[in-house]
Amino acid sequence: MRLRTLLFFTAPSAVLMLLFIFTPLVSVAIQSLHTTIVLREMVKVETCTPGFLAQTCTTTERSQVRMGPDGKPLTETRFTGLEAYRSVLETGKLATAFAPGGQGWAEVLRLDFWRALRFTLTFTFITLPLVVGLGLVIALAVNNAMRAIRGPLVFVSLLPFIITPVIGALAIRWLFIGDGIVTATLRATIDPQISFFAQGWTIEVLMLVYRVWHNAPFAFIILYAGLQTVDQDTLESAVIDGASRWERLRYVVLPHLAPLIVFVSLIHLMDAYRVFEEVVGFGSEAHVISLQWLTFSYLMPDFTGNRYIARASASSMLTMVGIVLLLIPLLARVWREHRPRG
């Protein structure tokens, strides 16, 4: 195919990605190096608020935002270099943590970015094998089931995947929080003290369980489709050669599914690293936070209406660097497979 044709065919897609993914990315990179500061002045202000019998008015000297001629607050944007990154990574505290007398990693894991990173990575790497493994087991089981019930089985197995993530997280929360039905049943049968949202680790376990429940069906459906194309002749000759069930799985089926397993892992790695819905849905911010939640919390306006754009941008750039690092082994594989030949 000639270059011109290629460009012609891919232009609409490339332009969309350029405009709506690449441009915001560049602007985020630029914003992470700048800080906007609100300009204020000290003024005497009389404020009146309602009391029960009469209004209470007080005059105080306080700093107030300076308004420009257009009625908008005056701000000043300065180039601050890596300041925002230092602030997000809390480099100063890192140094004291490892200085003599510091508590080392225990202290580091109290800092927001580092504990978010810790959770995001554990979450990603614990769910990855579970999702792929459970998906594979379900696919093998469904493939071994009677043909007549395979349809309903596929349908029920897909349910957790198609459900809206926010709603899925809420459903799980409704079942577990307070005296939700599952917690209540466990309390009645096992231990009356059980509560899932009281300590960090149970919330974390619940988040892992939710994500595996939600994503294993995706692995299942891809691998199940892959199982349909396993070469039956190879399988039969393996039987004739006396290969056990396990050996057939190990030497025939799994190699056939290998590219699909890589595909599923790739997609899951990206999605799990973005973990966010769980933190919001489970209201876990007192115990565990994730990297994307951290960015999001900088971006939400606080009680003065300010968004911390510089730190949000820095934290999202760091998040991005993280995912690129994680993807490097997989990208290398893509490179080997699809390397332009000739």
Partner 1 sequence: MLKRTLLATLPAIGLATGLAVGLAALPGTAEAACAIRNTVPIKTLSAGFDAWKAVTAAWAECGNVQSELDMNFRTKQPTAFAANPSLYQIGGVANNTVVPLLNAGTIRPLDDLVAKYGQGLTPNQLIKVDGKTMAVAMMVNTQNFMVREDVFKEMGIAVPTTWDEVLDAAAKLKASGKFATPLGATMKPGFDISQEFLNVFLAYGGVATKPDNSPGINSEAGMKTLALMKRMAEFLDPEYLTSDSTYVARQFQQGKIAMANLWATRAGALNNPAESQFAGKILQAAAPAVAKGGKPATTLWWDGWVIAKNLPDAEAEMAFRVAMEGIDEEMVKANNNAAVWLLKGYVPGPSAKGAIESAMGGAPAYPSTSAMGLISAALGENVADFMTGKKTAEQTLQAIEASYLTRAKEQGLVK
Partner 2 sequence: MNQDDTPLALRPRLAQRAGVAVFLALWCFIAAFPLVWIAVMSFRAPQDALSPDPLRVLLAPTTLAAAGGLSLADVALGAALLWLAWRAATRWLPTLAARAETVPAVPRWLALALGYVLALGAAGLFVLPWLAGLIGAFLGPIPLVGLLAEPVIGITLEHYRAVWVRQEFYRNFLNSMMVTVGVVVISLSVGTLAGYALARSQSRIAFWLLVGALVFRALPHSVLATGYVPFFLNSREILAPLWEWPATAWLFTLFADRPPLLYGQPLATIIVLVSINQPFTIWMLRSFFQNIPAELDEAARVDGCSHFEAFWRAIMPVMWPGVITTGLFSFLLAYNDYLVTALLLDAQSMTMVPAITQFLNRDTRLSDQIEAIAAAVSITAPLFVLVLAFQRQIVAGLTQGAVKG
171 binds partner 2 (CB under 8 A): yes
Rule CB under 8 A: say whether 71 interacts with partner 2: no
The CB density around residue 71, as the number of other CB atoms within 10 Å, is 6
The sign of the torsion formed by the CA atoms of 253, 256, 262, 265 equals negative
Q: What is the rounded CA–CA span in Å between residue 123 and residue 117?
A: 10
Does residue 72 interact with partner 2 by CB under 8 A?
A: no
Q: Under a CB-based contact definition with an 8 Å cutoff, are residues 203 and 282 in contact?
A: yes
According to DSSP, residue 42 is labeled E
3-state DSSP call for residue 283?
coil
Nearer to partner 2 by Cβ, of 94 and 154: the residue is 154
- Among positions 201-230, residues that touch partner 2 (CB under 8 A) are 213, 217, 221-222, 224-226, 228-229
Q: Which does 234 bind (CB under 5 to 8 A by kind): partner 2, partner 1, none?
A: none
Among 77, 259, 285, 321, binds partner 2 (CB under 8 A): 259
Kindly tell me which of 114 and 220 has the beta carbon lying closer to partner 1. Answer: 114
CB of 196 to partner 1, least distance (A): 8
User: Cβ of 142: how many Cβ atoms within 10 Å?
Assistant: 19
Out of 286, 329, 337, 342, the residue judged to bind partner 1 by CB under 8 A: 286
CB of 6 or CB of 45, closer to partner 1: 45
Q: Given CA atoms 208, 132, 225, 247 in this order, what sign does their dihedral have?
A: negative
Three-class DSSP category at 50: coil
Is residue 13 within the footprint of partner 1 (CB under 8 A)?
no
By the rule CB under 8 A, 38 interacts with partner 1:
yes
- 67 is a contact residue toward partner 1 (CB under 8 A): yes
Give the pairing of strands 56-65 and 40-49.
antiparallel
Which segment (35-43, 54-62, 79-87, 314-322) binds partner 2 by CB under 8 A?
A: 314-322
Within 292-321, which residues bind partner 1 (CB under 8 A)? 300-306, 308, 310
User: Residue 127: which of partner 1, partner 2, none does it interact with, CB under 5 to 8 A by kind?
Assistant: none
* DSSP, residue by residue, 109-129: TTSHHHHHHHHHHHHHHHHHH
Cβ of 270: how many Cβ atoms within 10 Å?
Answer: 14
Please give the full DSSP string across 322-337, using - where no structure is assigned.
HHHHHHHHHHHHHHHH
User: x-or-dash pattern for partner 1, window 183-222, by CB under 8 A?
Assistant: ----------x-xxxxxx----------------------
Q: Which of 199, 200, 209 is nearest to 123 (CA)?
A: 209
Q: CA angle at residue 207 from 108 to 212, to 5 degrees? A: 125
Among 180, 202, 208, 234, binds partner 2 (CB under 8 A): 180
- Site residues (CB under 8 A) for partner 1? 35-40, 43, 45-52, 54-57, 60-63, 65, 67, 71-73, 87, 110, 177-178, 193, 195-200, 283-287, 300-306, 308, 310
